[in-house]
Copies of this chain bind each other. A is one copy, B any other.
Amino acid sequence: MTSLLDIETPAAIVDVARMQRNIARMQDRMNALGVNFRPHVKTTKCTDVADRQRAAGANGITVSTLREAEAFFAAGYDDILYAVCIAPHKLARARQLRDRGCRLTILVDSIEAAHAVVEAKTGRDPFEVLIEVDTDGHRSGVGPEDARLIEIADALHTGGAALRGVLTHAGNSYELDNPRALERLAEQERALSVRAADRLRAAGLPCPIVSVGSTPTALSARALDGVTEVRCGVYVFFDLFMTNVGVCAIDDIALSVLTTVIGHQHDKGWIIVDAGWMAMSRDRGTARQSHDYGYGVACDLEGHPIKEGLVMIAANQEHGILAARDASVLSLSERFPIGTRLRILPNHACATGAQFSQYHAVADDETETWIRFNGW
């Protein structure tokens, strides 16, 4: 893998073999559960990755911004779900995508937004809309038993929008770390979204789609009766946070940051590298989990953790400080001299990826550059 030595540091490295394994694992699971799989491309924002998810059997994509929708539509993706409740002023931009032939589905969770969608309807092509349902209390969505669920659906349907169904995201799964609790939350996510769908149908309203998902629940659900599609994103790269949740192993993590040793503080056992928080992101998600990995775990160029347990214990903008869990490590400057290249596994692949405008995808000693887009 000598080609990594020719890449400027810091850089975002994708281990393509690990990524393909992650893609196959999730797609196989979704196939076995009998649901459509619509990956969330907010993690990678990269058509080279999405192409591989699609080739494995994914059908449609999920996005977190209209910028993603526009970029993926330009790359030939035309079945796109924008899974953040829409701000009314963004309806004009969403309309442009539909007018250009993109089958864009939008999301609402309030009567105000439903009215805005109805008012913004122009031409013959109504907006396709899902209603966000809150199945775990962590963020957005209307409760499955809330009277407003029917009011919103009715406002959309009678107003002429194309009501397509319900959507939920069990984001609380990120707080869990044992299989039974994850399985219970996956079942709660399924059951409450199906309950919301049943209420719509009982009220005579259309609900062909029941869309659920998060990486931990998607990997923990035993059955998905009544669910039509699953969405999730971070599974494609995984990260240290997900190892603590318990849904992947360290050697499943497909994203790392390539860095160079630029100094030492011998008395303290510190190795200074040229990847700081600008490269790793400020995400310290593992700080509140069972195992705190600092800003990341140092690996050799092949992607295997350094056996002494080197962790990035602190980071400034362009400096990372690595220290060994095993404080007896001596002769740091001999073992990791200035100029040594290392790879750092990140806490959170979505946040670390966002710090870069390209990935270096490494497969069989060959390196390709894959463009990533950011912004709104």
A contact residues vs B (CB 8 Å cutoff) = 8-11, 42, 64-65, 84-90, 93, 109-110, 112-113, 116, 134, 139-140, 171, 260-265, 272, 274, 277-279, 281-284, 314, 316-319, 321, 333, 337-339, 348, 350-351, 354-357, 374-376
Residue numbers in B under 8 Å from A110 (CB-CB): 263-264, 338
Q: Do A65 and B260 touch (CB < 8 A)?
A: no
- Among B8, B265, B272, B351, the residue within 8 A (CB) of A282 is B351
A239 CB, nearest partner CB in chain B, Å = 13
Complex Cα–Cα for A348 and B278 (A): 12
Complex Cα–Cα for A319 and B169 (A): 13
Q: How many copies does the complex hold?
A: 2
Q: Do B139 and A84 touch (CB < 8 A)?
A: no
The 8 closest A-B pairs by CB, nearest first: A282-B282, A87-B260, A282-B283, A112-B338, A64-B318, A85-B262, A88-B339, A85-B263
Residue numbers in B under 8 Å from A319 (CB-CB): 84, 139-140
Q: Which residue of B lies closest to A66 (CB)?
A: B8
- Among B113, B314, B317, the residue within 8 A (CB) of A350 is B317
Q: Given A113-B263, A317-B350, A375-B357, are A274 and B8 also a contact pair (CB < 8 Å)?
A: no
A278 CB, nearest partner CB in chain B, Å = 6
Q: Given A84-B319, A274-B84, A351-B282, are A339 and B140 also a contact pair (CB < 8 Å)?
A: no
